[in-house]
Amino acid sequence: LGITVDTIEKDLAVGQLFIDHTLMVADVMIAIELACRKREGVRLLYEDELSLPVTRLPFQWQVTVKSGEKLGVTPDRVFALEFAGRDGQPDRAYFFLEADRGTMPVKRQTLLQTSFFRKLLAYEATWVQDIHQRKLGIDRFRVLTVTKSPKRVQSIIAACRELQRGHGLFLFADTGILSADPLASIWQTTVPGRMGELIS
């Protein structure tokens, strides 16, 4: 049957990576949900509550970057925060979550190989090409990246600064935010010293 001990061990390792990643996504979403429950006037909306013009879950799409490569985009989670806008009417902020456990390089020599920089490029192209509006019906979005360590955050931010456009789309944090208030101004941006928040 072609099944060996090495094959079984590799399958188990891949399975454990998937489980660890799924748990990390869940931890981030639980932290955000608990923060929303504590803050009056803010409601968390999950994928199935967004009423977007998509035919299936999970949300996924393709972009073509300037170098000509086609890249697929599948956020780890898509959600929105609903709150009263400046005019008193309900407003929504949409987010694409990337939970990064540091299992892939931040950058590689070619886009044919997986890297976190490739994800950043794909989100940049999504914004530049208005795919979020044309395919998802979302007026604007932010990309939240939660990773394992402050050092990894800085490596990803350095890669993000290499993008030509769209730096303001991205917010970054390590898993320390899970014990803080993720709705507060604790998210790092590509601008040194400038912090971002989810409701702004």
* Separation CA 83–CA 170 (nearest Å): 21
Note the pLDDT of residue 13: 55
CB atoms within 10 A of CB 147: 23
**Joined tokens for residue 36:** 């929303």
Note the pLDDT of residue 5: 44
Burial 12-35 (b: 16+ CB within 10 A, else e): eeeeeeeeeeeebbeebbebbeeb
Three-state SS across 22-68? HHHHHHHHHHHHHHHHHCCCCEEECHHHCCCCCCCCCCCEEEECCCC
Note the pLDDT of residue 34: 95
58 preceded by cis ω (within 30°)?
Answer: yes
Tell me the CA distances in angstroms from 11 to 4, 98, 102, 155, 179, one per residue in order: 11, 23, 19, 29, 33
Q: Consecutive sets of 10 residues in the chain, 200 residues long: mean pLDDT of each? A: 50 68 94 94 91 73 87 94 82 95 90 91 95 89 96 96 94 94 93 88
Note the pLDDT of residue 57: 66
